[in-house]
Amino acid sequence: METFAFYLFSILIIGLFAVTVLSRNVLYAMTSLAAGMVLISGLFFLLGADFLGVVQLIVYVGAVMALYAFAMMFFDATSVIKEKNSSATTVFLLGGLSAVLLVVIFAAPSIGGNLQPLYPSPDGASNPQAVGLVLFTKYLVPFEVAAVMLLVAMIAGIILAGKKMEHRITSSEEENSGEKEMK
Amino acid sequence: MDGYIIATVIKAILVLAVISALAGFGTYLERKVLAFMQRRLGPMHVGPYGLLQLVADGIKLFTKEDFIPNNANRLIFMIAPVITAATAFIALAAVPMLPEFELFGITVRPIVSDLNIGILFVLGMMAAGLYGPLLAGVAQHNKWGLLGAARTAVQFLSYEVVTGLSILAPIMIVGSLSLIDFNNYQAGGIGEWLIWKQPLAFILFLIAGFAETNRTPFDLLEHEAEVVSGYATEYSGMRWGMFFIGEYANMITIGFLASLVFFGGFNDWGFIPGGLAILLKVSFFFFLMLWVRASWPHIRPDQLMWLCWKVLMPLAVINVTVTGFVMMF
């Protein structure tokens, strides 16, 4: 049962991400990206990591939704986009790298047989507790650094967006039209 | 193991059948309640008190031409309504609807899948449901549809943070993400209900819930007076119907969540047995949504963003911080 579910999810995920990369239509690419992200959470559920699965679901549903917003602003989503590959060397290099990666992935099960978990989750701890324990002990510094980076990004975003924050968009238009009439 | 699978399948089919029937009945109730509040009669012609209006609507929806506009992206256009309906029912899979009961000597647990992170799963699945309107609006090659899709994205990005943060404080108090643990925490009667400890979180959750189900103060996605019918402009027949089955199923889910998390869930309520109590609570929340629809005008998208990011989110953060300090000392 689990094997069947794993292969089903794997094939679907790989297929959907292939569509993301290969499709020339923004709408197909975005949709298959979102669907693939949602299906990855299925793999987490199969592994018994319910909490991470749901986090994957919530985070990527929101993130891809924001991507959609940008796609809508910049493209006509229903039309086909012309791609241009300027450099053959880049394509060659990337293709070679993917081939090497594939070999590593397929070889991983035979190497991974003698792996030991460095930080096994404590007995009796539920899913979120196990994640929290590791996050706030072993990975505290990366966690804090990530938090600081997000804070920096947020402040930068506010400054970029807020240059004219004292004007309301709707009321400033009225003021402008009023000024023109005065002149 | 086989018994478990059979039981799960039966439960899933039951949930699907009962909730979609209720969703259909919800449209009739909505018209009747709105009519009552606006001193009209509502549907009266088909059957006694218009009760068969539901059947007439069903026949209309099933037999209407399933129209796909010319330049639309056919595949996405056809998938979009299914996303809304399917995610609404998947979300219901993790909601415990009634207390355990015995049937033919077997203990039945009326929950399709008891996840130990139930509440996050339900909220995540409902969030994924908004891909339906978004894709529908983008795929249909219609300006109003595109506006509806843009508004979907805006609405989603506004309320999502508030939902998560408002529900965080009760989660901290209960110390679990399972909806059944929430229910058991409030087993001690009306004084134990979480609403008394977290009134602010409840109000924030309810407001975000209205935005999540796109009910009236926040029904930006398809407001007729502004964007014709928004994301649903080009839809007809059963595909249109699926959007609304999804929306009503989501209303029922929000009702269940609010009653389970804040209002004691399916514990016995005085002399009322638990199963009846939770149904009464969910019905009240359903009625509240119709009541609000009858009494409030809807707001602009920029007002929704202002409300969510500048009022509700700071309040939710303060609530979480204060709850944390109170629990620590």
Chain A hits for B135, CB-CB cut-off 8 Å, are: 27, 31
pLDDT in tens, B123-133: 888 888 888 88
Q: Which helix or strand (DSSP H or E) is residue B118 part of? A: helix B118-128
- Using only C-alpha atoms, chain B has a radius of gyration, in whole angstroms, of 20
The more confident residue out of B71 and A13 is A13
* Boundaries of domain holding B194: 69-328
Count of A–B CB contacts within 8 Å?
A: 82
Cβ separation B157–A65 shorter than 8 A: yes
Contact A128 B177 (CB under 8 A): yes
Query: What value does the mean pLDDT take over residues B82-89?
Result: 88
pLDDT tens digits for range B131-179:
888 888 888 877 888 888 888 888 888 888 888 888 888 888 888 888 8
pLDDT at B114 exceeding the cut of 80: no
B280 token code pair: 């009464």
What value does the mean pLDDT take over residues B193-219?
Answer: 84
B237: phi then psi, degrees, rounded to nearest 5: 65, -145
Within a domain: residue B53? no
B244 vs A152, higher pLDDT: A152
In a domain, B161, yes or no: yes
Out of A28, A65, A126, whose CB is closest to B153?
A: A65
The string over B189-203, giving b where at least 16 C-beta atoms fall within 10 Å of a residue's C-beta and e elsewhere, is eeeebbbebbeebbb
Q: State the alpha helices, DSSP H only, in B213-273.
A: 224-227, 237-262
CB count, 10 Å around CB of A133?
14
pLDDT band, residue A149 (cuts 50/70/90): very high
Determine the distance in angstroms separating the CA of A133 from the nearest CA of chain B, rounded to an integer: 15
Distance CA A150, CA B316 (A): 19
The region, left, alpha or beta by phi > 0 then psi within -120 to 50, assigned to residue B175 is left
In A, which residues are within 8 Å of B123 by CB distance?
58
pLDDT, residue A147, reads: 92
> By a Cβ cutoff of 8 Å, what residues of chain B touch chain A?
71-73, 75-76, 79, 115-117, 120-121, 123-125, 127-128, 130-131, 134-135, 138-139, 141, 146, 149-150, 153-154, 156-157, 160, 164, 176-177, 302
Mean model confidence pLDDT for chain B: 83
Cα B195 from Cα B170, distance rounded (Å):
9
CA distance B220 to B240: 17
What value of ipTM does the predicted structure carry?
A: 0.75
Decide if pLDDT at A152 tops 90.
yes
| Residue B90 near residue A42 (C-beta atoms within 8 A) | no
Mean pLDDT over all residues of chain A? 78
Which single residue is written with the structure tokens 């300027």? A86
Query: Does the residue B16 lie in any domain?
Result: no
- E-state strands within B22-169: 101-103, 106-108
Per-residue confidence band for B78, with pLDDT thresholds at 50, 70 and 90: confident
Residues of A in contact with B128 (CB under 8 A): 38, 57, 61
Q: Classify residue B288: in a domain, yes or no.
A: yes
Half-sphere exposure (Cβ direction) of A183: Cα atoms closer than 13 Å? 5
Domain ranges of chain A: 1-80, 139-183
Q: Are A80 and A25 in contact (CB under 8 A)?
A: yes
Q: For the packed helices B274-295 and B237-262, what is the interaxial angle rounded to 10 degrees?
A: 120
Instruction: Say yes or no: A77 contacts chain B, CB-CB below 8 A.
Output: yes
Shortest alpha-carbon distance between residue A55 and chain B (Å):
8
- Per-residue confidence band for A125, with pLDDT thresholds at 50, 70 and 90: low
Q: Is there a contact between B127 and B278 (Cβ–Cβ < 8 Å)?
A: no
Note whether B139 contacts A126, CB cutoff 8 Å.
Answer: no
Residue B110 to residue B128: CA distance in whole angstroms:
24
CA distance B18 to B286: 16
A57 touches chain B (CB under 8 A): yes
Among A145-149, B186-190, B298-302, which stretch is predicted with the lowest mean pLDDT?
A: B186-190
Are B124 and A58 inside 8 Å of each other by CB? yes
Residue B232 lies in a domain: yes
| CA B254/CA B206 separation, integer angstroms | 8
Whether residues B135 and A66 touch (CB distance < 8 A) is answered with no
Neighbours of A11 (CB within 10 A): 10
Under the banding of pLDDT at 50, 70 and 90, the label for residue A183 is: very low
* CB-CB contact of B159 with B309 (8 Å): no
Mean pLDDT of B77-94: 87
B-chain CB neighbours of A55 within 8 Å are 120
Q: In this complex, do A58 and B116 lie within 8 Å of one another by their Cβ atoms?
A: no
Burial class (CB in 10 A: 0-12, 13-18, 19+), B104: exposed
Angle, helices A26-46 vs A50-74, to 10°: value is 170
Question: Do residues B163 and B209 touch, judged by C-beta distance below 8 A?
Answer: yes
**pLDDT higher than 60, residue A174:** no
Cβ pair B71:A78 closer than 8 A:
yes
In a mutational test of the B interface, the residue from A26, A31, A56, A170 whose CB has the highest number of chain B CBs within 10 Å is A31
Asked whether the CA dihedral B214, B135, B18, B205 is positive or negative, the reply is negative
- Return the pLDDT at A180: 45
Q: Which residue matches tokens 């009494």?
A: B295
Of A78, A128, A169, the CB nearest to B141: A78
Q: What is the CA radius of gyration of chain A?
A: 24
CB atoms under 10 Å from CB of B12, counted, come to 16
Nearest to A54 among B117, B131, B139 (CB): B117
Dihedral sign (CA B283, B289, B293, B295): positive
| Pick from A172-176, B201-205, B292-296: least confident | A172-176
Residues A85 and A87: their CA atoms lie apart, in Å, by 6
Mean pLDDT of A84-96: 81
- Residue A157, pLDDT above cutoff 50: yes
Q: Which residue has the higher pLDDT, A123 or B54?
A: B54
B269: phi then psi, degrees, rounded to nearest 5: -120, 95
Between CA B19 and CA B246 the distance in angstroms is: 10
Task: Please give the single-letter amino acid code of residue B267.
Answer: N
Q: What is the 3-state secondary structure (H, E, C) of B71-86?
A: CCCHHHHHHHHHHHHH
Measure in Å the smallest separation between the Cα of B216 and chain A Cα atoms. Answer: 23
Tell me how many domains chain B contains: 1
Let me know the angle formed at the C-alpha of B118 by B112 and B122, rounded to the nearest 5 degrees: 85
Predicted local distance difference test score (pLDDT) of residue A74 = 67
Q: What percent of chain A has pLDDT over 70?
A: 73
